[in-house]
Amino acid sequence: MESLLTQLLKQVIDKEYHEKIQVMYPIRFEYGDFSSNIALQLAKAYKKSPLEVANDLRDKLLKLSHKDIDRIEVVNPGYINFYFVTDVYGRELKRIATEKDSYGTNAHYKDKRIMVEYGHPNPFKVMHIGHLRNFCIGESLTRLFEKAGAHVIRTNYQGDVGMHVAKTVWAIQNTIKNSELIVENLEKKSIDERVAFLGKSYAEGATAFEKDENIKQEIQAVNGAIYNKSDKVVLNIWQTGVRWSLEKFHEIYKRLGTHFDREYMESETIEKAYKTVEEAIKKGILTKSKGAVIFDGTPYGLDTRVFLNSQGFLTYEGKELGLAQMEFSDFGHLDRCIHNVAVEQVSFFAVTFKVEELLDSALFKGKQYHNAYEFVGLKKGKMSSRTGKVITAESILNEAHEKIRTIVGENKMSLTEKDIDTIAIGAVKYSYLKMSPFKYLAFDLDESLSFSGDSGPYVQYTYARAKSVLKKFKIKNEKVKIEENLSQTFNTQETALVRQLMKFPDVVARSAREYSPHFIATYLNDCAQLFNTFYNVCPIRGSKMRLDITEATAQVLKNGLYVLGIETLERM
């Protein structure tokens, strides 16, 4: 309908001003289905007041008398508000019922091949509170792009080499030397016990590294042995630790409802990275400086960054060159590669993108994008964490689960442990996604678990309520007097709710364009509030139209929650 109004406005204003046309949803319900500020845009050019221009345009639009427009009104300071005939609402309800799970799809990225790289937990380390925001945003973006017609490739890039790894491997090796412990016995323990052992080993290695210069040199030697794979014992411990870490990560991925087409490891990039660095040196893109290899970003208004350090080891920048070569070859042609990484890496990506572009403009130019989301912290207090210093992703999910279980028990709700976890995961995800990814997030667990509004449980509960109504009043063979001809009469609550439902495709499209799932979260909360008002005011039994509205609401809530990566429950 937005495109319809745009076309009508083009018929009543001069062509040179067509690009100024804006059609938007009114802030307040009573201002109609759509509104335009075009009169305010044209007032100066037409040498009239905005109200005069708006009234002139309204008169011209009324002469066009489109069948879907009931009336057009002008309000201060010059907005033109459009009101549709109720047949439009009936058609949209039918469309939702017909399209079902596909309602809300669009063609903004039709046939585009988009890689979304997200997640990034590092083996030998725990997945923390910041990773959760990365996963929530990344998973939602992949679904938004799929809704927009794209072929999406999900990838994850993880640091399985580096000093944090060397410290852990050294400590494990040292423990084995000084005890009867063998790795094979550890394999018999649970994954949580094995991961805890890795964490304890890292702490020991990190402490020893700082306190003893000889041990520091030993750990640096271990680091070198991992890079060049020269020590079989070190290699075995390292590979085992990576495998344990990934086993735990995959357990959490499954719980979060996410998966990857490819998980890249830093160690995989090394060979290609060294070759690419050499190529960049030969082309004069990278230069040698004080024993290191750098990119001088000054001519491009960028920072100067090191790609190969003075010891000959690749930096993160250097490895990124190898990763880019792999990502842009392993899956064929890519139209876009989106790196979902926190804002602290803005300079890093600006520089590496430029180097890659200079190396191969046809392959990389304009195709890489850093989705620089902001940091996450706690709104108040401290949450318990088994690791003490780091608030782990799993501790948040587990605490959410326990608190939801308590709420369920207090309200005598009959739910399984899986149902409880679905609500807990939904609560955390919604809380992470309702804030713009480009703003700092102060996470509040208790707030996220609320059933009373602007939360995952609230939207999930509203969906379950709608499904309960449908189950109750659409029982097979139940003799219900159905009002067949109410499509022409919508009261205030019905109109408000249907207008909200009609916005869904546009909200999905905007979220995909702007890489911002929070528009969906805000929309779903508004939709849930309108449905609950409708439910409390409008008797549904016996009204086919109201049953249709209820069914459409349930479908839209389900589709919206899916885009956020949140599962629904039929009963709560």
| pLDDT tens-digit map of 153-178 | 999 999 999 999 999 999 999 999 88
Q: Confirm whether 322 is domain-assigned.
A: yes
Pick from 67, 78, 59, 99: which is nearest to 1 by CA?
A: 67
Residues 16 and 117 in one domain: no
Residues 6+ apart with CB under 8 A from 567: 257, 422, 425, 426, 561
Residues 140 and 274 in one domain: yes
Task: Give the number of domains in the chain.
Answer: 3
CATH number at residue 446: 1.10.730.10
Residues 137 and 261 in one domain: yes
Q: Confirm whether 47 is domain-assigned.
A: yes
Q: Confirm whether 126 is domain-assigned.
A: yes
Residue 317 pLDDT exceeds 50: yes
Q: Confirm whether 265 is domain-assigned.
A: yes
Q: What is the mean pLDDT of residues 425-441?
A: 97
Q: What is the mean pLDDT of residues 128-140?
A: 96
Distance CA 337, CA 150 (A): 12
Residues 324 and 449 in one domain: no
Q: Confirm whether 107 is domain-assigned.
A: no
Considering 46, 67, 84, which residue would you say is the last residue of a domain?
Answer: 84
Residues 180 and 80 in one domain: no
Q: Confirm whether 51 is domain-assigned.
A: yes
Per-residue confidence (pLDDT) for residue 481, from 0 to 100: 46
Distance CA 348, CA 369 (A): 12
CATH number at residue 10: 3.30.1360.70
Residues 350 and 404 in one domain: no
Residues 436 and 467 in one domain: yes
Q: Confirm whether 318 is domain-assigned.
A: yes
Query: How does pLDDT run across 463-484, given as a tens digit for each residue?
Result: 999 999 999 987 543 444 444 4
Residue 460 pLDDT exceeds 50: yes
Residues 134 and 197 in one domain: yes
Q: What is the mean pLDDT of residues 233-248?
A: 96
**How many Cα atoms within 13 Å fall on the side-chain side of residue 130?**
16
Considering 43, 63, 84, which residue would you say is the last residue of a domain?
Answer: 84
Q: Confirm whether 429 is domain-assigned.
A: yes
**What band does 386 get if pLDDT is binned at 50, 70 and 90?**
very low
Distance CA 376, CA 135 (A): 13
Strands 34-36 and 79-84, bridge-based pairing:
antiparallel
User: What strand order describes the sheet that includes 69-75?
Assistant: 23-24, 34-36, 79-84, 69-75
Per-residue confidence (pLDDT) for residue 394, from 0 to 100: 95
Provide the domain limits for residue 65: 2-84
Query: How does pLDDT run across 354-377, given as a tens digit for each residue?
Result: 999 999 999 999 999 999 999 998
Distance CA 509, CA 2 (A): 13
**What band does 182 get if pLDDT is binned at 50, 70 and 90?**
confident
Own/partner contacts of 286-295, CB < 8 Å, gap of 24 or more, are: 286/355, 293/318, 295/351, 295/354, 295/355
Considering 373, 408, 429, which residue would you say is the last residue of a domain?
Answer: 373
Q: What is the mean pLDDT of residues 346-358?
A: 98
Per-residue confidence (pLDDT) for residue 488, from 0 to 100: 56
- Tokens representing 69 are 């427009």
Q: What is the mean pLDDT of residues 434-461?
A: 94
Residues 264 and 358 in one domain: yes
Residues 255 and 137 in one domain: yes
Where would I find the H helices in 360-392?
Answer: 361-364
**Which amino acid type is present at position 298?**
T
Residues 167 and 273 in one domain: yes
Residue 486 pLDDT exceeds 50: no
Residues 546 and 440 in one domain: yes
